[in-house]
């Protein structure tokens, strides 16, 4: 079932979500929520969706980066972003740590801020310790775009949006981005926009 995605200005997006117990994770209601979140993310379409984005303040997110999404990009964009297929999976009660590699900057969007994008610095390499949909412990080490997706979704669970981390002068409408900035390098965008 496709759920309503909450947009910026909704208080649930600004609250720290609560952790789930193993018993809750295995409950029918949470399993149904997970399935609906996947339906909602795919219908949007998006590569990640956190429970607060559908009005539920739980530390739960679904993630998937499909081959067809990547195929729509010029190969140099995928290569620069270290973007690769990410199979569908669930992260629950995640703990994020940053590994070596420093930060990288790319344009980022959000289903809760439809029609907008901005340059957002994020760690290149991360480790996430979490539970999966079976309440099993999982450790994920991710690099590039997958690391960005994880950071973005975990931010939602902490009550943060990308606009809290963005280079503010790069904030723009998606149409303007597609028309004028999509094929311009980040350094040149920052130079021209003054960030």
E strands along 18-171, which residues?
Answer: 48-50, 60-65, 86-98, 103-108, 116-123, 125-131, 137-143
CA distance 195 to 180: 17
Q: Which of 68, 153, 175, 178 does the annotation list as catalytic?
A: 153
Q: In the annotation, is 108 catalytic? A: no
3-state secondary structure of 166: coil
Write out the catalytic residue numbers. 153
């Amino acid at each position: 079932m496709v759920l309503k995605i909450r947009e910026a200005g909704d208080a649930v997006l600004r609250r720290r979500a609560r952790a789930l117990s193993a018993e809750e994770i295995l409950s029918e209601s949470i399993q149904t929520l997970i399935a609906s979140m996947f339906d909602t993310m795919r219908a949007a379409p998006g590569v990640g969706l956190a429970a607060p984005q559908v009005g539920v303040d739980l530390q739960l997110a679904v993630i998937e980066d499909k081959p067809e999404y990547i195929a729509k990009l010029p190969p140099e964009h995928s290569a620069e972003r270290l973007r690769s297929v990410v199979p569908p999976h669930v992260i629950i009660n995640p703990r994020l740590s940053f590994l070596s590699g420093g930060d990288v900057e790319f344009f980022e969007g959000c289903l809760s801020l439809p029609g907008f994008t901005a340059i957002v610095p994020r760690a290149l390499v991360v480790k996430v310790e979490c539970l999966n949909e079976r309440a099993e412990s999982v450790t994920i080490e991710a690099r590039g775009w997958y690391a960005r997706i994880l950071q973005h979704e975990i931010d939602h669970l902490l009550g943060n949006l990308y606009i809290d981390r963005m280079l503010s002068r790069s904030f723009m409408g998606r149409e303007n981005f597609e028309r004028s900035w999509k094929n311009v390098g980040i350094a040149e965008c920052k130079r021209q926009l003054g960030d």
